[in-house]
């Protein structure tokens, strides 16, 4: 039987602290199965994995194990959008309705593409009930979003678009290219570069997917909840309409769906490669595009996540900025995205790094999981 802290893969001597932190997460943080990777100027310096892919702990995590990374997917979807900008096919300052005419309904004619990428469109969720099955019907859900009235004045502040981000940005991508986000990504990025990441997973890959599991809450540590009455009405529409978790994400329907906000499946090595492209690494975005990705859209108390993350958070165009809180390390201009339960991708153009962490034991924090903090600190201690 594998030891609790037995990990596999490669790690250069320079990043020995990352290996130690990764092992420690198994010893003290209840890690079930996970992987972490660090790319430096496009070269893999860390590629580690360990633990189990199932609740019964009978199937060891392998080098090519895939897992749903939830909202870490959003940074990958943003990469697609910025590559289309570079190609001259998408203008972030154009009205969304320029590409998607039906979207102009209900006073949304002045909503810009940049508002979608920065969670500022006011469409964090729908007012009418939305089922999990509705998420699998792209045409119906995008039609409802096009007809919907914003919850607040678009462009004025952020309100995290937990699931609608993928339908909104994804529909613009589809109108521009004729392809889903996942299809365009596969054809133009992951396929040609051999990056093991998919939005909309083929059934033939199911045998490689780790089972998502709720991580047992630490003794004396309550599940994170916002204070009573603290939620903006839009927050419930964003976070609980519909409510999704491990049981939904473990289903075949979820894996096949076109959900560019939340159902990317990949390895840590793939996440590091894609966020390395966001950081301007080899084959990635140009320097001008990197600056565009991390162009702050205004710090504020997010209308959806505010009660949990507090005031002063700031979105760029597709990712969250590290800022003074150091969400993505000590460089305030680094950026990245967390996924529900603990996964994350990190891009630091100044350090030339992309970092990916994926796991199947889902923690209770909405953002900035304690396992993430340990790994980020170890990465920067190694630089």
Mind listing the pLDDT tens digit for each residue in 61-114? 999 999 999 999 999 999 999 999 999 999 999 999 999 999 999 999 999 999
> How far is residue 307's CA from residue 311's CA, in Å, rounded to a whole number?
8
What is the pLDDT at residue 290?
98
Pick the catalytic residue from 20, 39, 71, 121: 71
pLDDT tens profile 183-209: 999 999 999 999 999 999 999 999 999
Host H or E run for residue 50:
strand 43-51
Beta strands in 101-206 (DSSP E): 197-199
Contact of 34 with 19, CB cutoff 8 Å: no
Q: Which CATH architecture has domain 7-382?
A: 3-Layer(aba) Sandwich (3.40)
Is residue 219 scored above 50 in pLDDT? Answer: no
How far apart CA 294 and CA 202 sit, in angstroms, is 32
Domain ranges of the chain: 7-382
**Catalytic status, residue 289:** no
**Is 8 within 8 Å of 63 (Cβ atoms)?**
yes
**35: nearest Cα among 207, 267, 217:** 267
Per residue in 224-271, pLDDT tens? 555 555 567 899 899 989 999 999 999 999 999 999 999 999 999 999
Q: Which of 155, 221, 211 is nearest to 365 (CA)?
A: 221
112 DSSP 8-state letter: B
SS3 category, 82 = helix
């Amino acid at each position: 039987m594998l030891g609790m802290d037995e990990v596999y893969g490669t790690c250069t001597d320079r990043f020995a602290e990352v290996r130690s932190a990764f092992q420690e997460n198994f010893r003290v943080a209840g890690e079930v199965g996970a992987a972490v990777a660090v790319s430096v100027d496009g070269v893999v310096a860390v590629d580690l994995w360990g633990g189990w892919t199932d609740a019964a702990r009978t199937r060891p995590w392998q080098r090519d194990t895939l897992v749903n990374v939830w909202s870490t997917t959003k940074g990958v979807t943003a990469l697609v959008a910025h590559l289309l900008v570079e190609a001259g096919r998408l203008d972030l300052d154009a009205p969304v309705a320029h590409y998607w005419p039906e979207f102009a309904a209900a006073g949304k004619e002045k909503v810009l593409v940049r508002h979608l990428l920065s969670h500022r469109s006011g469409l964090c969720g729908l007012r009418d009930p939305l089922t999990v099955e509705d998420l699998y019907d792209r045409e119906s859900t995008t039609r409802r979003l096009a007809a919907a009235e914003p919850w607040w004045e678009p462009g004025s502040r952020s309100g995290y678009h937990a699931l609608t981000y993928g339908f909104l940005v994804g529909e613009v991508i589809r109108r521009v290219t004729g392809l889903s986000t996942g299809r365009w990504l596969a054809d133009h990025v992951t396929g040609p570069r051999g990056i093991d990441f998919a939005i909309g997973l083929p059934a033939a890959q199911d045998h490689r997917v780790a089972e998502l599991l709720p991580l047992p809450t630490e003794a004396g540590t309550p599940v994170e909840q916002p204070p009573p009455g603290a939620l903006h009405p839009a927050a419930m529409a964003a976070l609980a309409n519909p409510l999704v978790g491990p049981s939904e994400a473990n289903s075949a329907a979820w894996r096949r769906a076109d959900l560019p906000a939340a159902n990317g499946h990949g390895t840590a090595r793939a996440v590091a490669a894609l966020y390395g492209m966001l950081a301007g690494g080899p084959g990635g975005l140009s320097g001008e595009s990197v600056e565009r990705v991390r162009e702050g859209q205004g710090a504020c108390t997010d209308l959806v996540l505010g009660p949990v993350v507090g005031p002063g958070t700031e979105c760029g165009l597709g990712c969250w900025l590290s800022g003074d809180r150091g969400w993505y390390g000590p460089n305030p201009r680094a950026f990245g995205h967390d996924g529900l339960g603990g996964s994350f991708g990190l891009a630091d153009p100044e350090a030339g790094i992309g970092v990916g962490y994926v796991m199947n034991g889902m923690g209770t924090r909405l953002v900035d999981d304690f396992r993430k903090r340990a790994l980020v600190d170890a990465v920067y201690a190694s630089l």
